[in-house]
């Protein structure tokens, strides 16, 4: 019990004193996960909408595949990206392994299917309501993609947040392709894993607090933004 | 370039083995306002959706004079879908799909908002408008693209009398601007007010097609006579 209280106190101290090592880790985590969620949204939102709108053979199968990929284990994604980026892999010449960029790539691969699968559902539901009206106005499925993504923007915020939640919480993929190198690729989740195994619970717990707080803050801001803008529409 | 007349030849539409429209042949000419009349389930909405190109007939043909590349046609639905943006932006969206340049779009939007009495609501979110205002906006959006023919599917079915009156006034203005009006209704009073020509459908068949005055004074079929007398038909 006293271990835990001590850990809490130490964690609080680290946060209040704005420990530079801690700050570095937090900023890198945010940079990696926010970039990954941005890239995954740029890929996943139009992809999900396209699967919802364009009839093509095997569409059902693609939809099922996207949903199945939502459950991709981070360590497996990490391993695959590791193989692709390792010196003997096809992208080895780029020298990306153990860089933040590799971590961004891995997280993008991990969450793009989540964004795509959820976006497909949102857009498909909207299309039921909009289909006749948009076709009547002369829209093609190609132009309707952007219309529906824009009109579904309030629901899609939740989709993007789900992706961000997954990215910021996962440890397996970034650990494998990033390597948890101090001052280079150490992020909150890998640091927590390392510090816990070393027995430095205060730092691990402090990072855990910050991770949860940031997640709450980002989700909270997004919901407030959504409600404020939705009130106008 | 003109797309009218629109010719239907033996148009049949079947779903789940049932003939919902059966062998409809008629021509829509420029000019008189046509009202498609009939009890619920007669196939009125279906006929409009087929003409508008939202559905493809099971048999028969629907031919525009110049082919349907021009798309000089528009439709207003009973419950129109408004996009989550301002009233003006909803009209702008329709005009952009017709590839109309920005300066002409602005002028046209102002014009139709004035003509439909929606000028003050131009920057209001469309989905926050009342049902009546949304229907007027749907008319403005359809009118903005200057269609040669406008299909209206029960445009006042969910409106109160005041809003219905406003919609009928706008329909008259659209008619005066030279657009052919084809409208469905099951409301006899409205049919008398709006129609120059009547198409009477019953159970998917075209029973009568002619001038409205004659239809109301001397219906040629017992079904039409019963419908005009206000008897329930199905």
Report the share of chain B in percent with pLDDT over 90.
86
Sequence-ordered list of residues with C-beta below 8 angstroms from that of B78, at least 6 positions apart, any chain: B45, B153, B154, B155, B157, B158
Decide if pLDDT at B69 tops 70. Answer: no
Looking at residues A145-165, what average pLDDT do you find?
93
Strand-strand pairing, B180-185 and B149-153: parallel
**In this complex, do A233 and B52 lie within 8 Å of one another by their Cβ atoms?**
no
Measured in degrees and rounded to the nearest 5, phi and psi for residue A57 equal: -60, 135
Specify the pLDDT at position A47.
96
Report the share of chain A in percent with pLDDT over 90.
73
Task: Assess if residue B72 is contained within a domain.
Answer: yes
CATH number, domain at B165? 3.40.50.300
What one-character DSSP code corresponds to residue A92?
A: G
A3 reaches B (C-beta below 8 A): no
Task: Assess if residue B110 is contained within a domain.
Answer: yes
Identify the domain containing residue B42 by its residue range: 6-228
Q: What ipTM goes with this model?
A: 0.92
Domains of chain A and any CATH numbers: 21-231 (1.10.3720.10)
Decide if pLDDT at A56 tops 60. Answer: yes
Comparing A225 with B189, the larger pLDDT belongs to B189
Count the domains in chain B.
1
Specify the pLDDT at position B70.
56
Per-window interface: A 152-171 vs B, CB < 8 A: 153
Specify the pLDDT at position A7.
74
How close is the nearest chain B Cα to the Cα of A54, in Å?
A: 16
Among candidate residues B26, B78, B76, the one with its CA nearest the CA of residue B200: B26
Residues of B in Cβ contact (< 8 Å) with A137? 74, 93-94, 97, 141
Comparing B171 with A23, the larger pLDDT belongs to B171
Residues of A in Cβ contact (< 8 Å) with B75? 136
Task: Assess if residue B75 is contained within a domain.
Answer: yes
Interface test with A, best of B3, B80, B82, B97 (most A CBs within 10 A): B97
A136 reaches B (C-beta below 8 A): yes
Task: Assess if residue B233 is contained within a domain.
Answer: no
Sign of CA dihedral A214, A215, A220, A221: positive
Task: Assess if residue B22 is contained within a domain.
Answer: yes
How do residues B77-134 score in pLDDT, each as one tens digit? 999 999 999 999 999 999 999 999 999 999 999 999 999 999 999 999 999 999 999 9
For the record, the structure tokens of A138 come out as 């002369």
Task: Assess if residue B77 is contained within a domain.
Answer: yes
Specify the pLDDT at position A31.
96
Q: Which residue of B54, B84, B128 is in closest CB contact with A136?
A: B54
Angle at A202 between CA A199 and CA A205, to 5 degrees: 100
Decide if pLDDT at A1 tops 60. Answer: no
How close is the nearest chain B Cα to the Cα of A164, in Å?
A: 25
Task: Indicate the average pLDDT of chain A.
Answer: 91
CB B120 within 8 A of CB B80: no
**In this complex, do A137 and B141 lie within 8 Å of one another by their Cβ atoms?**
yes
**In this complex, do B77 and A132 lie within 8 Å of one another by their Cβ atoms?**
yes
How do residues B2-18 score in pLDDT, each as one tens digit? 788 999 999 999 998 89
Which of A14-28, A96-110, B147-161 shows the lowest mean pLDDT across its residues? A14-28
Specify the pLDDT at position B68.
58
Task: Indicate the average pLDDT of chain B.
Answer: 93
Task: Assess if residue B1 is contained within a domain.
Answer: no
Decide if pLDDT at B234 tops 90. Answer: no
Q: How many CA atoms lie within 13 A of B193 on its CB side?
A: 14
Q: Which residue of A129, A135, A232 is in closest CB contact with B54?
A: A135
How do residues A103-147 score in pLDDT, each as one tens digit? 999 999 999 999 999 999 999 999 999 999 999 999 998 999 999
Task: Assess if residue B234 is contained within a domain.
Answer: no
Residues of A in Cβ contact (< 8 Å) with B128? 233
How close is the nearest chain A Cα to the Cα of B53, in Å?
A: 8
How close is the nearest chain A Cα to the Cα of B124, in Å?
A: 8
């Amino acid at each position: 019990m006293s271990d835990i209280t001590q850990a809490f106190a130490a964690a609080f101290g680290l946060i209040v004193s704005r420990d530079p090592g801690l700050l570095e880790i937090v900023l890198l985590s945010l940079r990696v996960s926010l970039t990954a969620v941005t890239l995954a949204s740029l890929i996943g939102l139009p992809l999900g909408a396209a699967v919802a709108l364009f009839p093509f053979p095997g569409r059902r199968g693609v939809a099922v595949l996207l949903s199945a990929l939502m459950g991709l284990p981070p360590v497996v994604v990490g391993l695959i990206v590791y193989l692709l980026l390792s010196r003997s892999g096809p992208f080895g010449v780029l020298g990306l392994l153990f860089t933040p960029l590799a971590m961004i790539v891995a997280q993008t691969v991990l969450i793009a299917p989540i964004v795509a699968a959820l976006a497909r559902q949102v857009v498909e539901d909207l299309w039921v309501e909009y289909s006749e009206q948009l076709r009547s106005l002369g829209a093609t499925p190609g132009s309707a993609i952007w219309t529906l993504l824009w009109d579904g923007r309030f629901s899609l915020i939740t989709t993007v947040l789900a992706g961000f939640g997954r990215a910021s919480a996962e440890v397996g993929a970034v650990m494998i392709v990033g390597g948890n190198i101090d001052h280079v690729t150490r992020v909150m989740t890998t640091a927590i894993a390392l510090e816990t195994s070393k027995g430095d619970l205060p730092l691990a717990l402090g990072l855990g607090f910050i991770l949860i707080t940031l997640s709450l803050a980002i989700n909270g801001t997004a919901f407030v933004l959504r409600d404020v803008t939705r009130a106008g529409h | 370039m003109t797309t009218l007349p629109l010719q239907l030849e033996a148009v049949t539409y079947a779903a789940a083995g049932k003939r919902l429209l059966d062998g409809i042949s008629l021509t829509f000419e420029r000019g008189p306002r046509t009202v498609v009349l009939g009890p619920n389930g007669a196939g009125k909405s279906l006929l409009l959706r087929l003409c508008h190109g939202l559905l493809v007939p099971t048999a028969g043909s629907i031919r525009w004079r110049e082919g349907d590349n021009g798309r000089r046609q528009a439709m207003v639905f009973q419950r129109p879908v408004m996009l989550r943006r301002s009233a003006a932006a909803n009209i702008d969206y329709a005009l952009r799909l017709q590839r109309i340049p920005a300066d002409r779009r602005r002028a046209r939007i102002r014009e139709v908002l004035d003509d439909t009495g929606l000028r003050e609501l131009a920057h209001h979110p469309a989905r926050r408008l009342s049902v009546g205002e949304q229907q007027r906006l749907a008319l403005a959006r359809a009118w903005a693209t200057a269609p040669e023919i406008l299909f209206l599917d029960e445009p006042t079915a969910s409106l109160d009398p005041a809003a219905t009156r406003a919609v009928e006034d706008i329909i008259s203005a659209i008619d005066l601007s030279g657009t052919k009006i084809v409208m469905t209704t099951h409301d006899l009073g409205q049919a008398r007010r709006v129609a120059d020509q009547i198409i009477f459908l019953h159970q998917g068949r075209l029973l009568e097609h002619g001038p409205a005055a004659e239809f109301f004074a001397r219906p040629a079929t017992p079904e039409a006579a019963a419908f005009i007398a206000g008897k329930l038909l199905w």
